[in-house]
Structure 1
Amino acid sequence: MDEKLIFNKPWILQRADPYVYRHTDGNYYFTASVPEYDRIVLRRADSLSALPDAEEKVIWNCHANGPMSKHIWAPELHYVFGRWYIYFAGGEVEDIWKIRPYVLECQGDDPMTGEWVEKGKMTRAEADEFSFEAFSLDATVFECGGVNYYVWAEKVGVGKMISNLYIARMKNGYTLDTVQVLLTTPDYDWERHGFWVNEGPAVIKRGGKVFLTYSASDTGEAYCMGMLTADENADLLDPASWSKERYPVLKTDRSREVFGPGHNSFTTDSEGRDILVYHARTYAEIVGDPLYDPNRHAMLMPIKWVDGKPVFSFDNVTDN
């Protein structure tokens, strides 16, 4: 690759849940969770290799109390319905685990300088009695066949609740048009380390297929990536349209000191080749709660396509 990139090693330090968006004008935008979980940051550059040194701007700070005052997690920047939006999750100082999905809308054409206004909690469809009533986070948005879809993680159950992934069609940038549909629940042992978790969805399309990756298990060494696949012409709101990989598509590689890879996004390099953006740690032993260990770093991996499917492998490139 002509663009000088560092693969499978820290690319942008202490930025978990990394999200990279390449706009139609060629600019790259980067946002992520910061270790303090108290603000949303955004940076822009004309290449992936320039993003680590790009100026980072705080575009929104958490509230002092009430909704959106604690645990500001996993922001994503999207351009949909003719506007810029940021989707993120947040809790409350008074109830730090009351995590719900929220939306910011930019009032200008430039997300770095435009005014961002709060649209509040994501609005569920009128007939939906369930969505966003419990711990909900990690929303992403994707387009297929001219339709915009919203995918998110939400916990259900009692006691140690289970985090599933759900999908719905969007009515506008902050409202759903259909009731939730369950996409995947933690079926397998590798999705059940510490907690039973499916979260962090991300979508890439190629060759008439929609590939939806997600992350599983707790946020330590066991954290890994799974994948669902559907035909782009299928009814994406029908769970039967999706098939699930039996084993993780990316997991810890101790030999390369990449621990707990996950919560990814997708982009392309300057030559249009597909790149996986993910976070991971460079060590396994964590003191205290992994959630508050700041050293989840954003990393990059080129994607290989084999028999029409993406392959996520540390062997895709030689170390550089």
Structure 2
Amino acid sequence: MVQYTSPLIIQRADPYIYKHTDGYYYFTASVPAYNLIEIRRAKTLEGLAHAAPRTIWRKHDQGPMSQLIWAPELHYIDHKWFIYFAAAETTALDQNGMFQHRMFCIECDAADPMASEENWQEKGQVKTPIDSFSLDATVFEANDKLYYVWAQKDPQIKGNSNLYIAEMRNPWTLKTAPVLISKPEYDWETIGFWVNEGPAIIHRNGRYFLTYSASATDEHYAMGMLTIADDVDLLNASNWHKSKEPVFKSDLVTHQYGPGHNSFTVAEDGQTDLMVYHCRNYTDIKGDPLYDPNRHTKVQAFTWHEDGTPNFGKPEPYNYK
């Protein structure tokens, strides 16, 4: 099976890789300073490690998009580029001890999303009915409809964040009411914090598989999965089925800790499915794990079980020299 340098890109958390029709892989992720959004590209995945990043958006000096720029994702929708990300007005915690992020969208209608910062236009906040902590948005198309999946705090539900889905009117506006599809409930989802976040979608074998990350961002961080048939109503919560156990977690043998906030892409052969994720190789974190910069981007091939579900295996050990 194809293997890549591990880690592929150092100090890039929440990694997202998109393979475009131009043959390039485009990469974006949270930068350690949480102060800007950058894109890099290369014809090969290994090439991303050495590709020069281009800053395409910078945080504001003040206001809702001025602090803690998290988890950008690059999508190509109707011949335009979009980046979804989370930002806050302050680094202070609210009365519930949580950050104060909201979700935002920027758009680029130029063919080359890396050409200039001026090509990117702010579309504003992606608003939901509850004005609360929200982050980690992703989108996917199904049956000619665009769907939005994200993590958000509901003050009426215990924990930090749940997962929701809605149909979109356009790439920055919801069309339907949010539907709750997962909340932290199992022991492995509630270590340190009650968290469901970082959703990612892959469509294979007549189903949509939605992976997500749970618990605190230290070695307890792990990935879970929801599954739904692709011929049923995606906005009916009862159609989503949640795995009771994590599908990807820390491996003490290989010293890979807290794997998560993943995305999916495909290898250069156009066939091999790849998971992109971040993790650390140590557990002795000084201070808040969120501000430890050594969550590195890894790219790992995975296979499929006979029943058509993904087999992610275990985090591969570091192999760089």
State the TM-score, normalizing by the size of structure 1. Answer: 0.93
Match of 2:101 among 99, 102, 105: 99
Please state if 1:140 is matched with 2:138.
yes
Please state if 1:34 is matched with 2:34.
no
Distance 1:76 1:95, change over 3 A: same
C-alpha contact (below 8 Å) 2:159/2:184 kept by paired residues: no
Please state if 1:296 is matched with 2:295.
yes
In structure 1, what is the Cα distance between the partners aligned to 2:157 and 2:59?
A: 29
5 Å-filtered alignment, 1:145-224, equals 145-157=143-155, 161-224=159-222
**Which whole-Å deviations, capped at 9, do the CAs of 1:28-70 have from their partners, x for residues lacking one?**
0000001100000100111111110011011111011111100
Distance 1:315 1:164, change over 3 A: closer
Aligned to 1:111: 113
Partner secondary structure for residue 286 of structure 2: coil
Partner secondary structure for residue 240 of structure 1: helix
Matched residues, number: 311
5+ long unaligned stretches in structure 2: 94-98
Deviates further, 87-96 or 64-73? 87-96
Match of 2:74 among 63, 73, 77: 77
Aligned to 1:310: 310
Aligned to 2:276: 277
Match of 1:68 among 65, 69, 74: 65
Please tell me the residue identity of whatever aligns with 2:289: P
State percent identity of aligned pairs: 52
In structure 1, what is the Cα distance between the partners aligned to 2:184 and 2:159?
A: 11
Q: Give 1 or 2: higher strand fraction.
A: 1
Please tell me the residue identity of whatever aligns with 1:32: A
Q: Give the superposed CA RMSD.
A: 1.9
Match of 1:229 among 227, 230, 234: 227
Match of 1:23 among 20, 25, 48: 20
Please tell me the residue identity of whatever aligns with 1:71: L
In structure 2, what is the Cα distance between the partners aligned to 1:318 and 1:220?
A: 18
Please state if 1:58 is matched with 2:55.
yes
State the TM-score, normalizing by the size of structure 2. Answer: 0.93
C-alpha contact (below 8 Å) 1:301/1:314 kept by paired residues: no
C-alpha contact (below 8 Å) 2:248/2:315 kept by paired residues: no
Aligned to 2:9: 12
C-alpha contact (below 8 Å) 2:219/2:283 kept by paired residues: yes
In structure 1, what is the Cα distance between the partners aligned to 2:267 and 2:26?
A: 13
**Distance apart, 1:20 and its partner CA:** 0.3
Distance 1:190 1:106, change over 3 A: same
In structure 2, what is the Cα distance between the partners aligned to 1:300 and 1:187?
A: 29
